[in-house]
Amino acid sequence: MLVSHHVQLTDAWTIVRLSLHVLGACVWVGGQLVLAGLVVTVRGISHDAPGKVAKAFAKFSWPAYWLLIVTGVWNFYAVGPSNATTSWNVVFGVKMLCVVVSGLGAFLHTKATSPKARGVYAGVGMIGTIAALVLGVALAG
Ligand code: HEM
């Protein structure tokens, strides 16, 4: 933690930038977690209900993912990579890897044809998703 003399409010553009990034994370991360928890209930409604719900969910989750990418690039340039320490830049790089795993896992999960592959892609993607969130918090400090 950086030592500062006073705890103070941040400026308006930082509030907009981080609020949009966090809002994207709420939908992308929170949506996936809650949906995973609802799968058993949804399957109980009908055999094809999980597929329908997943398709409807994708209309919200993918825009949230692209919002995270756009506001993430904004974050990166706002923080200024040249002002950051080496460890910050390393964590940023690892986070970018996690973001790719998160998106690719979710995408391959939707394209998988066997239940086993669907589960593996969901699991690997979810690890990338949670890791991206935690590393994001580390970057914001
Ligand atoms: C799965 C996708 C992502 C998730 C879940 C995620 C999550 C987060 C979270 C929770 C924070 C902390 C916000 C705060 O405490 O105020 C954060 C910060 C940050 N994220 Fe992301 N993020 C994602 C994608 C990206 C991408 C694609 C980039 C860059 C292209 C990025 C760059 C950053 C940067 C630079 C910060 C620090 C911002 C600052 O200190 O002002 N993120 N992220």
Could you please report the per-residue DSSP string of 121-141? HHHHHHHHHHHHHHHHHHHH-
Note the pLDDT of residue 1.
Answer: 55
Mean pLDDT in order along the chain per 10 residues (141 residues): 75 98 98 96 96 96 98 95 93 98 98 95 98 98 82
Q: Is 24 helix (H, G, I), strand (E, B) or coil?
A: helix
Separation CA 67–CA 6 (nearest Å): 32
Cβ of 61 less than 6 Å from ligand 1: no
Tell me, in angstroms, the distance from the centre of ligand 1 to residue 91's CA: 11
Note the pLDDT of residue 81.
Answer: 84
Closest residue (by CA) to atom 21 of ligand 1?
136
Note the pLDDT of residue 35.
Answer: 96
Provide the 10 A C-beta neighbour count for residue 139: 16
Ligand 1 pocket test, candidate residues 75, 89, 100, most atoms within 8 A of CB: 75
Ligand 1 pocket test, candidate residues 94, 95, 101, 127, most atoms within 8 A of CB: 95
Note the pLDDT of residue 2.
Answer: 58
Cα–Cα–Cα angle for 8, 133, 135, rounded to 5 degrees? 75
The answer to whether the beta carbons of residues 110 and 56 sit under 8 Å apart is no
Note the pLDDT of residue 3.
Answer: 57
Tell me which DSSP letter residue 9 carries.
P
Note the pLDDT of residue 4.
Answer: 58
Quick one: which H or E segment has residue 98?
Answer: helix 86-111
